[in-house]
């Protein structure tokens, strides 16, 4: 028996790294990466007057009400770290990636997200939402080093087509 070749075609935009330049106004500042639903940060450098510092960064976060099942598509947001503009990806503690399609109020807590579950080849799971009520907003990066000034970040953009089986 011969194995069947399965080929998935999608844009190669996620293979070209982004070089992001941002001016950090305050320590532990954040940036929204407009035009992309999400990125995987690779490396960052923060510049001070005397020295270049390896930068630490994490995705932005949102606190949600974790009363979800694998088919839940409406999620209550109780706190979020930055203003968001859908569509964007979020990642749960269990590794599920969801696409936020719309939001009732992206500038405040008490908002509701309409989501598409199990994106980019991940599996919809209630476990990742039940384990913690914190999700990572994948197109927002928090810059963690204790310096201000210019930052340069290298990141891989995630495909805009949420149906691509990138992590399958």
pLDDT value, residue 138? 94
Q: Where are the domains of the chain?
A: 16-157
Calpha distance 131→133 (Å, rounded):
7
pLDDT value, residue 80? 74
Calpha distance 70→73 (Å, rounded):
9
Question: pTM (2 decimals)?
Answer: 0.82
Query: How long, in residues, is the chain?
Result: 168
Residue where the block lists tokens 């941002």: 22
Pairing, β 18-24 against β 52-54: unpaired
Close Cβ partners of 45 (under 8 Å, ≥ 6 residues apart): 52, 53, 54, 55, 151, 152, 153
pLDDT value, residue 79? 78
Tens digit of pLDDT at every position of the chain (168 positions) = 444 544 455 555 556 788 888 777 776 778 888 889 999 988 776 665 444 555 677 888 888 876 778 888 998 888 776 778 899 999 998 899 999 999 988 776 678 899 999 999 999 988 767 656 889 999 998 877 666 777 778 888 999 999 999 887
């Amino acid at each position: 028996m011969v194995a069947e070749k399965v080929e998935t075609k999608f844009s190669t935009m996620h293979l070209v790294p982004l070089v992001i330049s941002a001016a950090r106004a305050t320590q532990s500042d954040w940036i929204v990466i407009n035009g992309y639903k999400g990125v995987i940060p690779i490396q960052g450098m923060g510049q001070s007057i005397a020295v270049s510092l390896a930068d630490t960064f994490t995705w932005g976060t949102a606190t949600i009400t974790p009363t979800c099942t694998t088919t839940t598509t409406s999620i209550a947001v109780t706190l979020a770290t930055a203003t968001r503009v859908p569509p964007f990806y979020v990642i749960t503690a269990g590794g599920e990636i969801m696409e936020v399609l719309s939001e009732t109020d992206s500038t405040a807590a008490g908002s509701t997200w309409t989501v598409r579950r199990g994106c980019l080849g991940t599996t919809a799971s209630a476990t990742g939402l039940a384990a913690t009520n914190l999700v990572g907003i994948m197109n927002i990066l928090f810059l963690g080093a204790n310096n201000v000034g210019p930052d340069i970040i290298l990141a891989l953009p995630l495909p805009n087509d949420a149906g691509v089986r990138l992590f399958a």
